[in-house]
Amino acid sequence: MEVGASMAMQSRTPRVGAGAAGGRRSAFLGREKQARVGSLRVGAGSAGAAAVAVRVRGTNPVAPLRCVRASRGSESLHNSVGEALLLKRKSEEVMFQLNGRCIYLVGMMGSGKSTVGKILAEVLGYSFFDSDKLVEQAVGMPSVAQIFKVHSEAFFRENESNVLRDLSSMQRLVVATGGGAVIRPINWNYMKKGLSVWLDVPVDALAKRIAQVGTASRPLLDQPSDDPYTAAFTKLSMLAEQRGEAYANADARVSLEEIAAKQGHGDVSKLTPTDIAIEALLQVGNFVNEHPTIHSQVGDLQVDSHSRRVQTL
């Protein structure tokens, strides 16, 4: 889900730590019971991270997807020391304001949700999840494209909602959602338990990126064409028109055109993922500052939830 050549970065596959269910420790893989994802706590307060076994209606239990906080290995996600320092400073400003709330990234396919999401998870000390990957894990298929082909888009959307429902009961996550997650109102009910951020990318930039890397993994675009760019641009334009109002429901909007304009070049393909992550943190901070009541209510709920967990120990 990247934009432009500058966003084609390698990332490590998430791994898993340990989780808790109903206040009692329950191990996966060979133990008596699988812990429900809704009862797991993920983030800096857990032992590394948490195991997630997503139970999807109409499917058999599958092995847990493995996830940890974004890697802090030798591969740098930032283009300069200055960018990294600015990113760190912005994350420190926002971290307290978030108070453990999850961040849900929404936007069109190819908008960079996974790449930016991993950066945000790294600097915030959160765990990262890709909802598409969780659906694949839950239904036991290797790709969204195959799920569409073997079952249907409706089947995928139902499972996607189940995944978001389970994640919504957790804290300290950055979740990259699928491009069409916004079309179901129930998904907004789940995402509003955290904070949603729309990565708003021009359709032209999306079409160029997708035409360059191919459409095999994107079932809504995978149609034979002698001109991949034009075919992608036409379909993406239609999807953007259909989903535009839904994306606008997000709590915060990150416009790549506006970031590029601030930098004085107006070319979104020159933006780095870190540029976008910094703007995302800025917009998240602005939203929380403008809605202190919502922030306070979420904090109260988290304190109450913590008290209940302590009482069960």
Q: pLDDT value at position 197?
A: 98
Looking at residue 91, what is its pLDDT? 95
pLDDT at residue 296, as a whole number: 46
Looking at residue 293, its pLDDT comes to 62
- Residue 104 contacts residue 168 (beta carbons within 8 Å): no
Return the DSSP state at 268. Answer: G
Decide if 174 contacts 124 (C-beta within 8 A): yes
Quick one: tokens of 244? 């535009």
Q: Tell me, what's the pLDDT at 80?
A: 77
Q: What is the pLDDT of residue 215?
A: 53
CB 198 within 8 A of CB 106: yes
**In three state form, how does the secondary structure of 220-238 look?**
CCCCCCCCHHHHHHHHHHH
CA separation for the pair 192, 250 (Å, rounded)? 9
d(C-alpha 81, C-alpha 40), whole Å: 36
195 phi and psi angles, rounded to 5 deg:
-135, 125
Per-residue tokens: 51: 């195991």
pLDDT along the chain (313 residues), means of 10: 43 39 39 36 37 44 44 50 90 93 96 97 97 96 93 96 98 97 97 97 92 62 69 90 96 97 92 96 95 56 40 38
CA-only gyration radius of the chain, Å: 19
The stretches of the chain forming alpha helices (DSSP H) are: 81-98, 113-124, 131-139, 144-150, 153-167, 185-191, 203-213, 228-247, 256-262, 273-290, 292-312
